[in-house]
Amino acid sequence: MGIVYFLGVWMRVEEILSRPSIFRDRNVLSPHFIPDTLLHRDREIESIVRILAPSSKRMKPKSIFIYGKTGTGKTSTVKHIMKFSDQLCAIFAYVNCRIYNSKYKVLQKVGKTFIGELDKTGFGLSHIYERLVAFAAGKQIIIILDEIDMVKDVDDLLYMLGRSNDEIIDGGITIIGISNSLSFKERLDARSKSSLYEDEMVFAPYSASQIHDILKERSKIGFEPDVVQESALNLIAAISAQTSGDARYALRLLIRAGEVADSKRLKTVTDREVETARMNVEDDVIIEAVSTLPEHQQILLLGLATLTTGGSSYAKLGGGGEGAGAANVDGIEPFFMSGELYEQYAKTCNALGRQKRSARWYREYLTDLEMLGLISMVETSTGIRGRSRLIKLCYDAKRLKPILEKSLSCGIAGGHSDGKS
């Protein structure tokens, strides 16, 4: 019986592996793939290269902070520029700060990139720092800190790296910080700011036509000829442009639609496959976006999701005008008054045993969440409480709420504290 079962499974596996596929090279369709030609980021590439150009003359360039929503090509652009290390006469170290999220882990990762001996464990922070300073003599080192806001002790890290240039002989360390948060630098303390001499760049979201071009280019290599219909590319581009111009989301949707077609043994990817794939991809995107947020931004989102699913107390108290809360303006999710949301945020903090942040930081959180495309805000000059800011979720509250509850209860957010008071 066991042999018969094994043979049946083996034959099934063989049949699956030998089945024709509409994919030619799935890797090309991955959001992590860096193409030789990066479409619609020529201006940003030129700007960054211009800032880094002094390294080609053995001079230290200014550091750069790069901001923009998820999927705007920040990481891809910087990794593309790493290919020009010879022309820039510089050496690069890339650090994913979501993984290496402390000063020690970042320096250890950078040290291991350049100095093989530091691959061993047990070295103290001061030893790694001294070795890195010695190694940097006569060299221009460019350290890329991707998702820099994930580093718990980022002020100490930036101060240390900035001040290291005072000790490096005929060389220097330049930082490229990448963040989804436009207000990231405003949260740094004066000490770390004073150690930096930097430029700033903001990556705008891709338009529908730009996303279409990216999808078209990738699909030519990633799929067999004439597999993806033009209407399917247009639909993905339109959906992605509406959800904050996220090219990563578009590529995920494209590859998932291809998987749907492949599983059904279809020869083409049509609008139908795109719509089928859309729900699962949206859940993946929400989970990724939420899991990387600082804790109090997650709590604020949970408060908004709670209001959205439970209704507005202000409306129940007798408002009814614009800004009274729970007014479904566009048929997606209702708007709520800023004051009501802050009250709910405070209640959620209390329920989770967290100290609420001040109204000032609350406003900063709102700005960050809007920039990430997680919420939408409008100003109003009418309503029961006068001029106010109206806020709504950009995702389905019933799907978002359990994801946030799980993230916060599992302690995922605990490692992403923003350190504010």
User: Could you report the per-residue pLDDT of 39-59, keeping only the tens digit for each?
Assistant: 999 999 999 999 999 999 999
**Is residue 288 classed as helix, strand or coil in its secondary structure?**
helix
Say how far apart CA 66 and CA 351 lie, in whole Å. 36
Cα–Cα distances (Å) from 405 to 143, 178, 311, 355, 357, in that order, read 35, 28, 18, 17, 19
Which residues lie closer than 8 Å to 313 by C-beta, 6 or more apart? 325, 340
Tell me which of 174 and 198 has the higher pLDDT: 174
> CA 395 → CA 190, 252, 280, 281, 300, distances in Å?
36, 18, 14, 13, 14
Handedness of CA 17, 19, 24, 28 (dihedral sign): negative
How many distinct structural domains can be found in the chain? 3
Interval 252-298: pLDDT, tens: 999 999 999 999 999 999 999 999 999 788 777 778 778 778 899 99
Residues 49 and 149 in one domain: yes
Cα torsion 318, 321, 322, 326 to 10°: value is 40
What confidence tens digit (pLDDT) does each residue in 305-335 have?
999 988 655 544 334 433 344 444 444 468 8
178 and 52 within one domain: yes
Whether 176 shows a pLDDT value over 80: the answer reads yes
pLDDT at 407: 86
Tell me which of 8-17, 69-78, 108-117 is least confident: 8-17
Cα→Cα distances 420→74, 335, 346, 368, 404, Å? 26, 27, 15, 14, 20
What domain range is 259 assigned to?
19-28+207-291
If one counts every other C-beta atom within 10 angstroms of the C-beta of residue 310, the result is 12
Where among 203, 224, 241 does a domain terminate? 203
Q: Check whether residue 282 and residue 406 sit in a common domain.
A: no
Same domain as 350, residue 364: yes
CA distance 38 to 280: 27
Could you tell me if 152 and 80 lie in one domain?
yes
On whether both 128 and 116 belong to a single domain, the answer is yes
CA dist., res. 168 & res. 383, Å (int): 60
Task: Please tell me whether residues 352 and 275 are part of one structural domain.
Answer: no
Residues 156 and 274 in one domain: no
Q: Are residues 246 and 276 in the same domain?
A: yes
Cα three-residue angle 7-9-11, rounded to 5 degrees: 65
Q: What percent of the chain has pLDDT over 90?
A: 61
Secondary element (H or E) of residue 80: helix 74-81
Residue 109 has pLDDT above 80, yes or no: yes
pLDDT higher than 90, residue 78: yes
pLDDT higher than 70, residue 223: yes
Mean pLDDT (whole number) for 226-248: 92
pLDDT of residue 420: 45
Residue 3 falls inside a structural domain: no
Kindly give, in sequence order, each residue whose CB lies less than 8 Å from that of residue 153, ignoring residues fewer than 6 positions away.
102, 103
Whether residue 243 contacts residue 395, with contact meaning beta carbons closer than 8 Å, is answered with no
**7 in any annotated domain:** no
Helix (H, G, I), strand (E, B) or coil at 418: coil
256 and 312 in a single domain? The answer is no
Q: How far is CA 93 from the centre of its chain?
A: 19
Strand partners, 9: none
